[in-house]
Amino acid sequence: MTGSAPQASPTERPMRHFTPPQGWMNDPNGLVYHDGEYHLFYQYHPDSLVWGPMHWGHAVSRDLCHWQHLPVALAPDENGMCFSGSAVVDRHDASGLFNGSEGLMAFYTAHRFMDDGEEHYEQEQHLAWSRDNGRSWQKYAGNPVIAPPGFRDFRDPKVIYHEPSRRWVMALACGQHIRFYTSANLLDWQLASEFGDGQGCHTDGPWECPDLFELPVEGDQAETSRWILVVGVGIDHEGPQDTLGSFTQYFIGHFDGERFHNDYPDEPLLLMDQGRDFYAVQSFSDVPDRRLAIAWLNNWQYAGHTPEAGWRGAMTLPRALYLAATDQGVRLHQRFAPELTRSVLPLEVALPDAPLGEGQHLLATPEADLVRGELTLELSADSRLALSLQQGGQQQLHLTAGDDITKVAYRREGHSGVARFDQHFPGERLAGELDGRRIHLQWWVDRGSVEMLINGERRQLSVTLASFVAPHHHSITMEVHSGSAEIHDFRLDAG
């Protein structure tokens, strides 16, 4: 970036996004709902602002908006660090650890370095359990529940209960594959299958943080349900960097309790989010009526070099996941969790009474740091425009309409004086195409981020971007470069 690029400075804490009390945070772990509480665990280094010996931090919420920090749940020991994993409710005491009652089970990867340096390590799967709704944890005396397999990257266990086979299933990231293990008691695990060869996107980095769940297909009676396998694609910190950095892909298909069958084997990449800062996403276990997910709002290309203020790292807002039948097949879509709107108040906005032609247009000046926005745009066939959502031009969403499709791109600027950040944070990228020229945009702006869900007639794009501006200093503007845009259903809420 040139010297005229905007400075990226430390922000105040977000008003709605989860951040650690201090220190470093990355992947969400062990997301589980139990006894009226949402549990959020996370990769945590409390004593530093960069990645280091990994703990499991812990917080709980009853409304997905306000989080209570609890003591560290898992800490490194002689077996190594506590890497990412998942948690479930053992409702019927399949493990025999709860004296016939129910309790929480956390599965994580124990990561230990060998004697000859940090590039030589061993990973195995461990278990911890809690009888008091996560307030205290006991590491299982029989660890490891799955021993090291003889290769290096073997991590991030995601455990689910597969009702048709009446067994527990664990998905594990193994190099650039996913292995599936099964168990009747959550303690003894058997390898069932492997997925990944010739499937999806493979880079120099490892596959990480798998998730596995089933969802109904909405809006199409011919479709019933599909299984979704979510996989994070990391970066090789020593090798050449892909332009995306770390990103999240997913597969749609069928799962029979042992094997995952991809319905779209010729699709090289299905992205869960087309932005730069949506990684290590995990969905909550044991939520009875929906599939909720949270991601780490960062990218490994620059995560350790972002501006900080005594803490570093944030999570995305919780989102509800669903499947939609589109003209390209079944696809995974998202909605912001409705609980998020309970403590925001509507703002008065003026709806333009005519299409907006070429020029710069001021849409609103919220003067707030936490803003939820929603509007529908009707674009002319030749229109090109740029939206700035309280970013002062430092981030813009670009829409280019053709006859039947609308192309969506985004641009981000900013520098901090740190080479790794300045090299990878700014840039411009095509997010994708939407069907039609009637575009529905929902967004949340908070200190540190912009999250957007952009819908066409049937398709959706999700764009999540870290931000280092103060939103209340900026307005919502639209610059029409050509053609025209008519605004419908414009709404703003502020917290």
**Catalytic residue numbers, as ranges:** 27
Q: In angstroms, rounded to a whole number, what is the distance separating the alpha carbons of residues 274 and 410?
A: 10
CA dihedral 450, 427, 483, 432 (to 10 degrees): -70
**What residue type is 161 in one-letter code?**
Y
Q: How many helices (H) and strands (E) does the chain have?
A: 1, 33
389 bridge partner residues: 476
The DSSP call for residue 340 is G
Residue 461's closest CA among 291, 332, 296, 336?
332
**369 close to 456: Cβ distance less than 8 angstroms:** no
The SS3 assignment for 419 reads helix
Q: Any residues with CB less than 8 A from the CB of 24 and at least 6 apart, and which?
A: 44, 45, 46, 48, 49, 50, 51, 52, 311, 312, 313
- Give the gyration radius of the chain's Cα atoms: 22
**What residue type is 371 in one-letter code?**
V
* Tokens, residue 418: 């740190």
**382 close to 483: Cβ distance less than 8 angstroms:** yes
Measure Cα distances from 99 to 141, 200, 406 in Å.
Answer: 16, 44, 58
**438 close to 457: Cβ distance less than 8 angstroms:** yes
**What residue type is 430 in one-letter code?**
L
